[in-house]
Amino acid sequence: MIRLDKFLSEMGLGTRSEVKKLLKTKQVTVNKAVVSKPETKVNPDTDEVCLNGSKIEYKKYEYYLFNKPKGCVSATKDNVHGTVMDYITDAVHDDLFPVGRLDIDTEGLLLITNDGALSHELLSPSKHVAKTYFARIDGEVTQDDIISFKEGIDIGEERLTKPAELVIKKSGSVSEIELTITEGKFHQVKRMFEARGKRVIYLKRISMGPLKLTDDLKTGTYRALTQAETDALRQINCGK
């Protein structure tokens, strides 16, 4: 149960004070009865709250798939650079945040939400959520690299990286690859290739768990997750 003014405010109908003024106009009903008291308790799952006869659907959480461009940082605020949140313009809640981070010069899939529990699960090292990247590499990527990535790479930490799946899409002086990792170490993809004597010159995340980046979602744009995608995130079992 939550207060009616909180319900209405969280659904984008204004600040608490603005909502209280709205309630005084007797345009809001709860289960078809006019309610003007802001402290009235409602159950978002069972009570029908309407404004001028139109039902207000309560959304506790929002989930957006964002195709991050270069030049913005994966943060809610930054004193120097623009943030990924600057692109999310029509969210209802004001407490959204990016799940994890992509470097400022990295593009691609980023989940934006206000669901802290889900974010924790997706980022937990014990969950091993798979993340796939497309990259262009300065240098020829070979079968030896595939074997090394599968065995684990020494990137200067206590342990080798976990086994990663490297797929060569194009090999040459500039190679194109897809790499799937199950960790999220700082600059991990770049450091893995540097350890092999090569340099990442372009990096884009194309999937995270069940979420896939599609060609119709242009760089710098976003969309709400489908119910199927949200359910798949909640049901993910990466411990096996």
Q: Which residues are catalytic?
A: 103
Distance between CA atoms of 23 and 36, rounded to whole angstroms?
5
Q: How far apart are CA 40 and CA 45, in angstroms?
A: 15
* Residue of 130, 143, 146, 126 lying closest to 192 (CA atoms): 146
Which residue is listed with tokens 């010159």? 201
A 10 A CB-CB count for 131 gives: 22
Q: Collect all residues with Cβ–Cβ distance below 8 Å to 147 and sequence separation of at least 6.
A: none
The CA-atom distances, in angstroms, between 31 and each of 40, 221, 229 are 12, 38, 31
